[in-house]
A and B are shown apart, each in its own frame.
Chain A
Amino acid sequence: MLRIKDIDTYYGHVHAIKKISVNVDAGEFVTLIGANGAGKSTLLKSIIGLQPVKNGSIEFLGERIESDRSDAIIRRGISIVPEGRRVFPDFTVAENLAIGARARKSTSAEMQEDIDKILDQFPRLKERWKQKAGTMSGGEQQMVAIGRALMGRPKLLLLDEPSLGLAPLVVAELMTKLKEIHAAGATILLVEQNVTLALRVAQRGYLMESGEIIASDDAKALLESDAIRKAYLGIEH
C-alpha cells in the first residue's frame, strides 16, 4: 500500500532522512521506533508532503505521490495524528472532529456514527463537546487529535506518538482501539516512544537511528532482538 524507496529529506543542510526505504502493505500494522531526533516525525512529514523529499519515490496505492501537495495526498485516504497534537485551538471539540471528516466528504449520517464511536472511546470529549480545544488539558487535546484522525476513516492511519500525555488507562484503551480498527481493515503506521507497547500491538517494526533504518523485522522478533534490548529494553526492570 505504501512503498517508500530510497528517499532523502533535508532541513537546509541537515540531512534528516538518509536513503530510507519503508514498506507498509495493505492491512498491515507497522510501527516505527527510535530515539529522540532519529527522524521518525520527519519521515511521516515526508510521506504526507509536508517536508519535500530529495531523491527516491513514495508510492501510495500504486501511485507516485512524492511530488503531490499535502492536501491532495491526504485526500487519497490518509489521516495523521501529528506530533504535538496540533488541534485547532479556536475550534470546539465538535468542530475539530468535523474538520477531520472534511477530506472524505462524509455524509452526516456517517459522521454521526463516527462521532458516536469516538465519544464512546473518549467519554471525556463528550463532557467537553462545546469547549474550545485550545483551553483543554494536554491529554484531552491528544484525544481530540486522535478522534479527528479517525473521523477521516482513513485507508492509511499515521500516528506520531499518540500516547503522549495520555493517562495509563487511556493508553491501554487506545492500543486496544488501534488493534480493533486494524482488525476492521485499516492500515496503520505508528510512531511510538513506548517501544514495548508499540511492538506488542504492531505486526512489524522498523528501528530508526540518525535518519537511517537500522533494523526491521517482525514485531515479536524485534521485541526479543538484542539490538532493541540493549538500546531500549535492557535497562527495564
Chain B
Amino acid sequence: MTLSVKDISLRFGGVSALTNVSFDVQEGQVTGLIGPNGAGKTSLFNVVSGIYTPTSGQVFYNDHEISKLRLDQINRLGVARTFQNIMVFPELSLVENVMIGRQSRTKAGALSSIFRTRKERNERSEAERRSIELLSYVGLDKKKDELAKNLPYGEQRQLDIARALATDPKILLLDEPAAGLNLQERVSLKALIKKLNAMDYTIVLIEHDVKLVMDLCSRIVVLEYGNKISEGDPQQVQSDPKVIAAYLGSGGE
C-alpha cells in the first residue's frame, strides 16, 4: 500500500468540501476518482499534494504521514500531480517547463553554476535530454522551443503531464487529463496512461470521461458532496444505485 487517506475532512468557512473520506491506493494500480461537479475530487488532490492542510484526518505515504508537509516536500517524496486548471509556466518554453520538473532530481547549486563546473554542465544537458524525451511521450517534442502560453488548450494539459513526470514520481495524480481532448487524442492519452502504468507508476485519475475511467482503472472511488459514496472495481461501482443516481444517470452514455 502506497497512499492511504484516513478520515480526511476539509472545510472552508461554511462549505464542507470533504467529510471523513478514507481510502487506499494500491501500488502499481490505476485508481479512479469520480463524482459530480464540486464533489471534492480536486480538493482531495489538493490535500494529498499538500496545497491544503486538512481540517482533520491524515494522509500516509508508505506509512509516513505527509499531511503536515509542504507541497515541495511531498513532491520530493514521489507524489506528483497535474492541475485541472491550466498551470503551465506561460513565459517559459516547453522544454524549460519540463526541465523545471527535473529540479527536484538534480542538485547543482548557485555556486557550481557560477563556476560552470563540469558536473553542473553534464547534469544540465542530461536534464534537457530527459525533458525532451518526456515531451515526446505526450507528442510535444516538435514544439519544444515554443512558449507554453502559445499552445492550444489541449496541448497545455499534455505539457502538464510531461512536467509532472519529470519529477520522477512514484504516484501520479492526474486531474481531468482528458478535458479538452477529442476522441482520437483520448485514445493516445489512454495509451500513455497504460504505458506509464506498465512502467510501474501508480496512478490516481480524476475524470468525467466515464468510459476512460472504466477502461483504465482497476479500482474506483466515488465522491459526492464531499462524502465517499462508493468504492470498488468498475463493475461494482457502475452498478451501484447510489452512483447511478448521483453521477452516471440511468440512461448511461
Q: Do A and B have CB atoms closer than 8 angstroms in the complex?
A: yes
A interface residue numbers (CB < 8 A to B): 11, 14, 33, 35-37, 41, 83-84, 124, 128, 131, 135-140, 142-143, 161, 164-172, 193-196, 231-233, 235-236
Report A53 CB to chain B, min CB distance, Å.
18
Q: Is the CB of A168 within 8 A of B248?
A: yes
Closest to B152 in A: A37
Chain A residue nearest to B154 (CB atoms) is A36
Contacts of A41 in B (CB 8 A): 152-153
Set A161, A167, A235, A236: member contacting B247, Cβ < 8 A? A167
Using Cβ atoms and an 8 Å threshold, which residues of chain B touch A236? 183
Q: Taking each of A136, A169, A172, A196, which has the highest tally of chain B beta carbons within 10 Å of its own beta carbon?
A: A169
- Among A128, A139, A171, chain B packs the most CB atoms within 10 A around the CB of A139
Contact between B181 and A138, CB atoms less than 8 A apart: no
- The A-contacting residues of B in range 1-52, CB under 8 angstroms, are 12, 15, 35-39, 41-43
How would residues 73 to 101 of chain B score, 1 for a CB under 8 Å from any chain A CB and 0 otherwise?
Answer: 00000000000111000000000000000
- Rounded to whole angstroms, the CA-CA distance of A165 and B42 in the bound complex is 12
A231 to B84, CA, bound (A): 26
Assembly CA distance A217 to B187 (angstroms): 26
Residues of A within 8 A of B84 (CB): 138, 165
Bound complex: CA of A14 vs CA of B147, how far in Å? 13
Q: Could you tell me if B185 and A235 are in contact, using CB atoms closer than 8 angstroms? A: no
- A36-B155, A84-B86, A172-B249 are known contacts. Are A195 and B179 too (CB-CB below 8 A)? no
Report the bound CA distance from A168 to B41 in whole Å.
Answer: 15
A196 to B154, CA, bound (A): 18
Contacts of A135 in B (CB 8 A): 12
B55-72 Cβ-contact flags toward A at 8 Å (1 or 0): 000000000000000000
Chain B residues lying within 8 Å of A168, measured Cβ to Cβ, are 208, 210, 247-249, 253
Of chain A, the residue at the smallest CB distance from B176 is A165
- Taken residue by residue from 136 to 157, chain B's Cβ proximity to chain A (1 for < 8 Å, 0 otherwise) reads as 0000000000000011111100
A-binding residues in B (CB < 8 A): 12, 15, 35-39, 41-43, 84-86, 150-155, 176, 179-185, 187, 208, 210, 247-249, 251, 253
The answer to whether B36 touches A167 (Cβ under 8 A) is: yes
Q: Would you mind naming 16 contact pairs between A and B with Cβ atoms under 8 Å apart?
A: A33-B182, A36-B155, A36-B181, A36-B182, A84-B153, A124-B37, A138-B37, A138-B42, A138-B85, A138-B176, A140-B37, A165-B84, A167-B36, A167-B37, A193-B154, A193-B182
Task: Return A29 CB to nearest CB of chain B, in Å.
Answer: 20
Q: Please determine whether B38 and A124 come into contact, CB atoms closer than 8 angstroms.
A: yes
CB distance from B79 to the nearest CB of A (A): 21
A11 to B150, CA, bound (A): 9
Complex Cα distance, B151 from A14, in Å, reads 11
Closest Cβ neighbor of A161 among chain B residues: B180
Complex interface: chain A residues within 8 A of B248 (CB): 168-169
Which residues from chain A contact B184 at a C-beta distance below 8 Å? Answer: 35, 231-232, 235
**Contact assessment for A232 and B183 in the assembled complex, using a CB-CB cutoff below 8 Å:** yes
Q: A36-B154, A164-B180, A195-B182 are in contact. List 7 more A-B contacts (CB 8 A).
A: A37-B155, A137-B37, A137-B38, A137-B41, A139-B36, A165-B176, A165-B179
Question: Contact between A167 and B185 (Cβ–Cβ < 8 Å)?
Answer: no
User: Chain B residues near A233 (CB, 8 Å)?
Assistant: 183
Whole-angstrom CA separation of A166 from B179 in the bound complex = 9
Contact of B180 among A131, A143, A193, A235 (CB under 8 A): A193
A-chain residues with CB within 8 Å of residue B153 when the two chains form the complex:
36, 41, 83-84, 161
Which of chain B's residues has its CB closest to A37's CB? B152
Contact of A166 among B42, B152, B208, B251 (CB under 8 A): B208
Q: Is the CB of B249 within 8 A of A169?
A: yes
CB proximity of A207 to chain B, nearest CB, Å? 11
Question: Bound complex: CA of A65 vs CA of B247, how far in Å?
Answer: 43
Which interface residue of A128, A165, A195, A236 has the most chain B CB atoms within 10 A?
Answer: A165
Q: Which residue of A lies closest to B153 (CB)?
A: A83
Q: Give chain A nearest CB distance to B11 CB in angstroms.
A: 13
Q: Name the B residues within 8 Å of A35 (CB-CB).
A: 182, 184-185
Residues of A within 8 A of B36 (CB): 139, 167, 169-170
Inter-chain contacts of A167 with B (CB < 8 A): 35-37, 208, 247
Give the Cβ gap from B32 to chain A, nearest Cβ, in Å. Answer: 14
Docked Cα-Cα span, A110 to B150, in Å, equals 40
CA distance A110 to B133 in the complex (A): 56
**A231 to B, closest residue via Cβ:** B184
